[in-house]
Amino acid sequence: MRHQQPDRVPVWCLLSLEHIIRNGTPDGNYPVIIDDLVRAECRMAQLYGFDGVILYLPGIRENTRIDTLLRGWIHTDPRGDPSHDFSAADPETWEQQRPDCEPADFHSSRLAREMLGPDYHIGGWTPDAFSRAVPWFPSMEDAMVAIAEDPARFTALVCFFESQCIQAASAQIRYGKAESIQISSPFAGSSFISREIYKNIVLPQLTRLANAIRAESALSYVHTCGFLSDRLELVASSGVDGVECLDPPPLGNVELGEAKNRVGDKVFLKGNIDSVNVLLHGTDEDVDRAVMRCLKDGMPEGGYILSTACSVAPAVPPTRIHRIVELAERFGCRTSPNGDEA
């Protein structure tokens, strides 16, 4: 993450919530309280030999009941059923209502550190303001129409959410001692918006969020799924420390070696193993080839974390994740087993 050359390439895959529940809880059932979920998240990081963990619910008090929340999160549309009327909205006049935070609100991070010890990287997350604004609309189509027809008002909506995202990230760092913040920005790829819209609406607020995280002495990396190649330089110019998912074809259009040449001196790169066509539906040989290609393209000069492009699906067998770590330990070191440079 800090662009140093490690002895071994770090391995840290983003796990889907249901994968964690299926494989990390004693009975495969939904965790009832936050402590159960954190234990499952940490158990999976230890089981797989990852170098870090990202907490799904970083700002939750001890013993808070979460089973109903998780069921709704997995099995229903997380957007809910917003009925907001953009034509009548005036975000510039809306009042911010941000509750004060205190250390007790971030029990998740403290429990994870207690379980994992000092050698694991513990990260939190926040959406960026653009990704808060899009679900405000009844549908994705409504959001895209608003951007096209009234970009000034849509930008005001983004600005309204921006301070909330900054507060969420800063609180996780100050009170939860998160070492990095994943900035979730799933709607910012070229499947949804043009490069010009990215530059004019997404980039300014992403830059301010990245700067706020850096001011708290933590690292940031942006998570965008799908097609990202045409805006890699814009993302890197925001001041984030890293970029994830780097979806390869056909899920996206990012070739890791090309991305490394283009922005690898500015940001660390995380991902590029196809989570669907290779990890979920591919053969064992497909997995091996994908991992070896990522090591070859991503390892030189450091600044690379071996990972699936997006999250590991619930049905992916744990043996496949173990295989990724095994290959990293064999071939992801500065020196190969015979002592030659890898």
First-last CA distance in the chain = 20
Domains of the chain: 17-91+99-256 (3.20.20.210)
The pTM of this model reads: 0.94
Angle at 273 between CA 305 and CA 289, to 5 degrees: 105
Does the pLDDT value for residue 342 go beyond 80?
no
Does the pLDDT value for residue 77 go beyond 70?
no
Q: pLDDT per residue over 113-139, tens digit each?
A: 999 999 999 999 999 999 999 999 999
Does the pLDDT value for residue 341 go beyond 70?
no
Does the pLDDT value for residue 194 go beyond 90?
yes
Average pLDDT for 307-326: 97
Query: What value does the CA radius of gyration of the chain take, rounded to a whole number of Å?
Result: 20
Angle at 130 between CA 125 and CA 132, to 5 degrees: 65
Average pLDDT for 142-150: 96
- Percentage above 70 pLDDT, the chain: 96
- In 3D space, the residue among 32, 40, 37 whose CA is nearest the CA of residue 59 turns out to be 37
Looking at residue 338, its pLDDT comes to: 35
Looking at residue 3, its pLDDT comes to: 72
d(CA 228, CA 340): 35
Contact between residue 295 and residue 332 where contact means Cβ atoms under 8 Å apart: yes
Does the pLDDT value for residue 78 go beyond 70?
no
Contact between residue 210 and residue 238 where contact means Cβ atoms under 8 Å apart: yes
Q: Which two tokens stand for residue 164?
A: 């909330």
CA distances from 272 to 155, 213, 253, 287, 308 (A): 31, 25, 10, 12, 6
d(CA 124, CA 178): 6
User: Which residues, other chains included, contact 146 with Cβ-Cβ below 8 Å and sequence gap of 6+?
Assistant: 86, 137, 153, 154
**How many residues are present in the chain?**
342
Q: pLDDT per residue over 19-71, tens digit each?
A: 999 999 999 999 999 999 999 999 999 999 999 999 999 989 999 999 988 88
CA dihedral 165→169→175→180, nearest 10 degrees, is 170
Q: pLDDT per residue over 220-257, tens digit each?
A: 999 999 999 999 999 999 999 999 999 999 999 999 99
Looking at residue 340, its pLDDT comes to: 42
Does the pLDDT value for residue 1 go beyond 50?
yes
Contact between residue 41 and residue 312 where contact means Cβ atoms under 8 Å apart: no
Instruction: Label residue 100 by pLDDT band (50, 70, 90).
Output: confident
- Percentage above 90 pLDDT, the chain: 86
Contact between residue 69 and residue 58 where contact means Cβ atoms under 8 Å apart: no
d(CA 11, CA 273): 12
Beta strand 219-224 with 304-308 is unpaired
Does the pLDDT value for residue 336 go beyond 90?
no
Q: What is the mean pLDDT of the chain?
A: 93
